[in-house]
Structure 1
Amino acid sequence: GDAAEDAVGTPGRGAGTGVTSVTCHGDYIYSTGRDGCYRQLCLRDQQLEVLQKHRPCKGLQWIEELRFTPGGDLLVLGFHADDFVVWSTRSGVNLHCVPCGGGHRSWSYYSSPEADAFAYVKRGDVMLYHSQAEPCEQRVLLASLHGREITCVRHLGAVRVPGSHPVNIFITGSEDTTACVLTLSELTRAAVPLARLSDHISSVRALALADTALHDGTQLCSLLFSAGGRAQIECYRLQCAVDLGAEGTVSCQVAHVASHRLDEHWDRMKNRHKLVKMDPETRYMSLSVVCGTNSEQLPMPCTFLVAACSDGSVRLFVLLEAAQKLLLVAESFHHQRCVLKVEAFLHTRAEERKHLLCSAATDGSVAFWDITKMRPLALGTPLLTVMAHSCGVNSLHIQELPEGQFLVASGSDDGSIHVCLLEVTRGDDKAEPGTCLHILEHVARPCTHAAHVTGIRVLRPDLVLSASVDQRLTLWQLSWDSLEELSTTFFHVPDLAELDCWEVAEAGGERRWYCVLCGQGLELLRCAALDTHSKLQSQGAAQ
């Protein structure tokens, strides 16, 4: 502004190693920089707030400018080594790559449906690159969501478009280092990306959601955690809404909240020479949000997150959203080997609340912890450990039952399924009553699948759903003397990594479950559980 009181800014939060351009589009401000990123900002209370940082493609070290096309594409203009590059964020490809000698030169780019031109100065001469539009001989039959396999998926929820069916919204993570927010339609069988998150420097292996809320059936809000390689966790605030002015399409606004890296945490620690150095190559294998937490020791609302780690530890983090900080508060190396899965669950009785945690490792063991007091630095020791399988536990799910009981289902690399009935009681010590866990019943069935069981869900107390790398999705009838197969269908996704399930109440009182599977692709299936029998219906959308 002209006056000093009208000036706004965000010191130290610009575009990294030098801002090259600033532009306004819609209600947001975009900046580009020589760090290979562009940032989306908004103006709040006369301050610029960075919502999200985007890294369009690997190797693009110097971004000069952004162009918003009438067709809704965002073009990123910059330099990669000695080349001038025009990158399409919609298609994820280079539209032009012109050898010019690199940055630090005067240049100009013009684009139209008929032709493209790039003029630049090189050694005192004005050079012109001219390209006319040509008919494309290739046709994309099905656009890809990710450049590599999808490692994790979560169902965020569904929004209702007026005059149409509900639109399901998902988040996927991939080996290509990105996470994607997308809609997947059962009717059109099409997947439409809404937002792409590119803050990770290695693969995204785990996702977790917290504080998910649906407003008026047309807007979904949630807190998203993503984690994976290089010991990195990112946190975002998502807002997905139906755009009534754009033919009922769905839009997604992403705001980056906080991040954490173990190597950065190590650099800030005191007395590091007295401790075993953290491995910066640690991979986070699984995430789980501790629901309903309320810590009196912290001065602001917080969210706790548990992570399964490849270095053999179970780590507990706390998110201070107002301060935009994600802090490591406790850890345990009880398993002494790679921890594959974690699942936090809440036990309530009268006014008593117990926060419990289940972790599973590559040796087939499943451990149960009481993390109610959440002591700093150490998680303590598990209350109970069960050798559920002969090798790695690749799927885990916990379903609450009445009277303080829980069903714990797990699937293993050896193709087996294990289900146990867990009871939570109070200890006998009246001075300081603790938590006691008891296994009341259990059932194990070997060779349920011909390969790793990478997805399992307890749909109801007598119904279990499992999915495997053998590309079979199976419904099981659960009783404490057997696990009987009810129905099996083959799905189309190779190398299944994970599944997610949710229940939908349909007209007529019929109970249905939907499940989404990810691996070398993405697929949506429907499960109908009737009073007399259950069956799987292989219909939905595949990507």
Structure 2
Amino acid sequence: AAVPLEDPLSVLFGLHGKTGVTSVTCRGDYIYSTGRDGCYRQLRLRDQQLEVLQKHRPCKGLQWIEELRFTPGGDLLVLGFHANNFVVWSTRSGVNLHCVPCGGGHRSWSYHSSPEADAFAFIKRGDVMLYHSEAEPCEQRVLLASLHGREITCVRHLGAVRAPGCRPINVFITGSEDTTACVLTLSELTRAAVPLARLSDHISSVRALALAGTALHHGTQLCSLLFSAGGRAQIECYRLQCAVDLRAEGMVNCQVTHLASHRLDEHWDRMKNRHKLVKMDPETRYMSLSVVCGTNSEQLPVPCTFLVAACSDGSVRLFVLLEAAQKLLLVAESFHHQRCVLKVEAFLHTWAEEERKHLLCSAATDGSIAFWDITTALCTAVLTEPLLPALGTPLLTVMAHSCGVNSLHIQELPKGRFLVASGSDDGSIHVCLLEVTQGGDEAKPETCLHILERVARPCTHAAHVTGIRVLRPDLVLSASVDQQLTLWRLSWDSLEELSTTFFYVPDLAELDCWEVVEAGGERCWYCVLCGQGLELLRCAALDTHCNLQSQGAVQ
């Protein structure tokens, strides 16, 4: 009897572009598809609907992917065509295992792999051709696998998970000039970095990372939103779910779901009345990202996450993520600085009446630091994008340095006060005490900002200060391209050097810190530094002395 045809349960149109899908493979709970767009995608079935989790681009130049092969050893082989060659690409080692001249695609072919030999048969000009390669002992040995193909430009500490009876495992995200971002674990015991997932959606360098809504469940699971941005005016958004898995190499399993993306050239193509505006530069680089916290307010029409970006074209841009609709929209911008904006940092102030004020700090290449009130911009964000509103003007501008501000950090203090620390290209450090007050009349109150105290110290480092953190109201940590990590005691008449240590990472790009309460109740800080490598250090600041100690480095 004939089997009746049924309508498909789920359809994804244009998943691999106009060139179409070449193969579909099921592996465990996931579905993998390949196409002639040079990508393969990971999908899953949820409520009888196909959901795209992630897109992978295995290597540059491989524009035609035909098939995926999962090896018994856990490697994933990508079979495809690059120009006139048949290519077998190993995702584990990141190299071509085979490259056979065959004339390119559009031909019948077959590939077989075994521990003893590999064979590739194909038809060329009506003849059956056979390529045969016997297994040979590899003369090359990888002594230390690299995390990235080029320097690491940014790093964020996602959190730590703990398996029963084991030490906590720290999870990090790194971005690089090689256009990828990597989720990895860095062990204090083995001093080894184990990649958990690689994100390859960017077409240019990844220069900035930001995390939102990070949550730790039962000590064994981490969940967070990840924003990555960089060259070619591109922002990508993912949801990360990391869980303890004793069978995995790094003892952590990471599931990545791609949520949304944004590029200025695509935004420009969708804009109405664009002939009246100055064209956006598609070569803009995003230098820094900051998530706006505490926006779950009744004033907003839908649940959303706001993101602020510092841009090389002189603008500060505000984006909104609509996770349910999987859209990332540009909703406001300002060109106040008129030069490359290097850093942005969003912070929140709450009045006694539970009224929230969302504030923003931005820093540029001229050494200026501007403070904004973006509360109105958040509440009146136009989600349909008919015209792009202005972000407003700063409430206060401070000339903190003589040249570019390459590091910035803000720590909240009681009574509406904030410590704002910054480091510059000229090696100087600037710290100011900012107070937020309410002015104007009762009918229309206004936010007022005042600088109460300032302290600046020139020549604290011999090179650019690319990392700074306020650990406590009296402690500031700075890191520089001169490969020195220095702990300072802050008072309003001086910065006193307490301790200095040298680290191993050249060309330092960024620093991230977090506080840990250890078993004996001792409070200490860990910091991770990135550049030409990655290094983890421990900082213990006691009443009598300070100790900076390296916990491991990966070059």
Shift of the 16–423 alpha-carbon distance from structure 1 to 2, 3 Å rule, reads farther
Further displaced range: 115-124 or 439-448: 115-124
> Counterparts of 2:473 and 2:491 in 1: how far apart (Å)?
9
1:220 shift after superposition: 0.4
Report the number of matched residues.
535
TM-score normalized by the length of structure 1: 0.96
Can you list the C-alpha shifts for 1:113-156, whole angstroms capped at 9, x where unaligned? 12111111111111111111111122111100111110000000
The 2-side partners of 1:508 and 1:224 are apart by: 33
State the shift of 1:508 in Å.
1.8
1:300, 1:322 within 8 Å by CA — same for their partners in 2? no
Q: For the Cα contact (< 8 Å) 2:79–2:88, is it kept in 1?
A: yes
Q: 1:375 to 1:384 in 2, by over 3 A?
A: farther
**1:155-191, Cα deviation, whole Å (9 max, x unpaired):** 0001102222111000000011100000111110111
Distance across 1 between alignment mates of 2:535 and 2:363: 26
Cα distance in 1, alignment partners of residues 73 and 297 from structure 2: 49
User: How far did residue 538 of structure 1 move?
Assistant: 2.1
Deviates more, 1:272-281 or 1:14-23: 14-23
CA contact (8 A) 1:156 1:170 kept: yes
Residues 329/441 of structure 1: CA separation in 2 closer, same or farther (3 Å cut): same
The residue matched to 1:512 in structure 2 has which SS? strand
Structure 2 Cα separation of the partners of residues 268 and 137 of structure 1: 54
Shift of 1:404: 0.7
Contact kept, 8 Å, 2:239 with 2:256, in 1: the verdict is: yes
Q: Cα offset for 1:68?
A: 0.8
Q: SS at the partner of 1:509?
A: coil
Q: 1:246 to 1:153 in 2, by over 3 A?
A: closer
Residue 246 of structure 1, CA deviation: 5.1
1:360 matched residue in structure 2: 363
2:535·2:551 contact (CA, 8 Å) conserved in 1?
no
Corresponding residue of 1:507: 519
Q: What does residue 388 of structure 2 align with?
A: 375
Distance 2:280 2:248 in 1: 49
Note the C-alpha offset of 1:349.
2.2
Instruction: Report the Cα offset of residue 251 of structure 1.
Output: 0.8
- Provide Cα deviations, 1:425-453, integer angstroms capped at 9, x if missing partner: 00133221110111110100000000000
For 2:420 and 2:438, the matched residues in 1 are separated by: 20
Q: Describe the shift of the 1:337–1:440 C-alpha distance in structure 2 as closer, same or farther (beyond 3 A).
A: same
Q: How has the CA–CA distance of structure 1 residues 92 and 15 changed in structure 2, closer, same or farther, with 3 Å as cutoff?
A: farther
Shift of 1:98: 0.7
1:295 Cα deviation after fit:
5.4
Offset at residue 463 of structure 1 (A): 0.5
Identity score, percent: 91
Which stretch shifts more, 246-255 or 410-419? 246-255
Judge conservation of contact 1:15–1:31 (CA < 8 Å) in 2: no
Contact 1:186 1:541 in 2 (8 A): no
CA pair 520-541 structure 1, distance change in 2 beyond 3 A: closer
How many angstroms apart in 2 are the aligned matches of 1:426 and 1:6? Answer: 62
For 1:201-248, what per-residue CA distance to the aligned partner results, in whole angstroms no more than 9, with x for missing partners?
100000000010011111100000000000000000000111245588
Deviations 1:237-280 (A, max 9, x none): 00011124558821110000000000000011111111011000
Alignment correspondent of 2:445: 433
Conserved 8 A contact 2:210-2:226 = yes
- Shift in alpha-carbon separation, 1:145–1:297, aligned structure 2, 3 A: same
- Partner Cα distance (2:214, 2:551) in 1: 27
| Structure 2 residue aligned with 1:202 | 204
Q: Distance in 2 between matches of 1:244 and 1:477?
A: 42
Shift of 1:16: 5.7
Native 8 Å contact 2:426 2:464 kept in 1: yes
Residues 496-541 of structure 1, C-alpha deviations (whole Å, 9 max, x = no match): 0001000110022211111111111111111111121212112334
Question: Which secondary structure does the structure 1 equivalent of 2:50 belong to?
Answer: strand
CA contact (8 A) 1:475 1:535 kept: no
Question: Which structure 2 segments of 5+ residues have no match?
Answer: 1-5, 375-386
**Contact 1:184–1:191 (CA under 8 A) maintained in structure 2:** yes
Q: How much has 1:297 moved relative to structure 2?
A: 6.1
SS in 1 for 2:520: helix
Q: Is the 8 A contact 1:150 1:520 kept in 2?
A: yes
Q: Distance in 2 between matches of 1:6 and 1:385?
A: 62
CA contact (8 A) 2:535 2:550 kept: no
Q: Aligned partners of 2:471 and 2:404: how far apart in 1? A: 23
Of 288, 306, 309, the residue aligned with 1:304 is 306
**What is aligned with 2:168?**
166
Task: Render the CA deviation track for 1:372-424: whole Å, top value 9, x for unaligned.
Answer: xx994x11110000000000000000001111110000000000000000001
Structure 2 CA distance, aligned partners of 1:68 and 1:158? 30
Are 1:134 and 2:146 an aligned pair? Answer: no
For the 8 Å contact 1:15–1:32, the answer to whether it is kept is: no
3-state SS of 2:140 partner: coil
* Distance change (3 Å), C-alpha of 1:367 and 1:441: same
Pair 1:245–1:136, CA change in 2 (3 A): closer
Residue-by-residue CA offset, 1:63-117 (whole Å, 9 max, x unaligned): 0000111111111000000000011111111111111110001111111112111
Deviation of the 1:366 alpha carbon: 0.2
**Distance between the aligned counterparts of 2:286 and 2:495, measured in 1?**
32
- Asked if structure 2 preserves the Cα contact closer than 8 Å seen for 1:161 and 1:248, the reply is no
What displacement does 1:15 show? 6.1
**1:444-479, CA deviations, whole angstroms, 9 ceiling, x for partnerless residues?**
000000000000000000100000000111000110
Match of 1:267, SS state, is helix
- Is 164-173 or 130-139 further displaced after alignment? 130-139
Alpha carbons of structure 1 residues 34 and 361: separation in structure 2 relative to 1, 3 Å: same
Counterparts in 2 of 1:131 and 1:360: CA distance versus 1, 3 Å = same
SS in 2 for 1:265: helix
User: 1:45 deviation in Å?
Assistant: 1.5
Change in Cα spacing, 1:330 to 1:246, as seen in structure 2 (3 Å) is closer
Assess if the C-alpha contact under 8 Å between 2:259 and 2:323 holds in 1. Answer: yes
Give the Cα–Cα distance (whole angstroms) in 1 for the partners of residues 247 and 104 of structure 2: 42
- The farther-off stretch of 244-253 and 394-403 is 244-253
Q: Give the whole-Å Cα distance in 2 for the aligned partners of 1:313 and 1:531.
A: 43
| Whole-angstrom CA distance in 1 between matches of 2:280 and 2:250 | 48
1:407 to 411, 419, 423: 419
Aligned partner of 2:286 in structure 1 is: 284
Change (3 A) 1:87 1:120: same
Segment drifting more, 239-248 vs 262-271: 239-248
Work out the CA distance in 1 between the residues paired with 2:250 and 2:207.
Answer: 32
How well do the aligned residues superpose, as a CA RMSD in angstroms?
1.5
C-alpha distance in 2, partners of 1:15/1:499?
Answer: 39
Task: Identify the residue that residue 10 of structure 2 maps to in structure 1.
Answer: 9
Compared with structure 1, are the counterparts of its residues 295 and 402 closer, same or farther at alpha carbon in structure 2 (3 Å cutoff)?
Answer: closer
Alignment CA distance shift 1:171-1:405 (3 Å): same
- Report what 1:423 is aligned to: 435
8 Å CA contact retained: 1:486, 1:535: no
In 2: Cα distance, 1:375 partner to 1:14 partner: 31
CA contact (8 A) 2:371 2:394 kept: yes
**Gaps (5+ residues) in structure 1?**
none
Looking at structure 1, the residues matched to 198 and 44 of structure 2 have their Cα atoms a distance apart, in angstroms, of 18
Distance 1:464 1:208, change over 3 A: same
Q: 2:361 touches 2:371 (CA, 8 Å); kept in 1?
A: yes
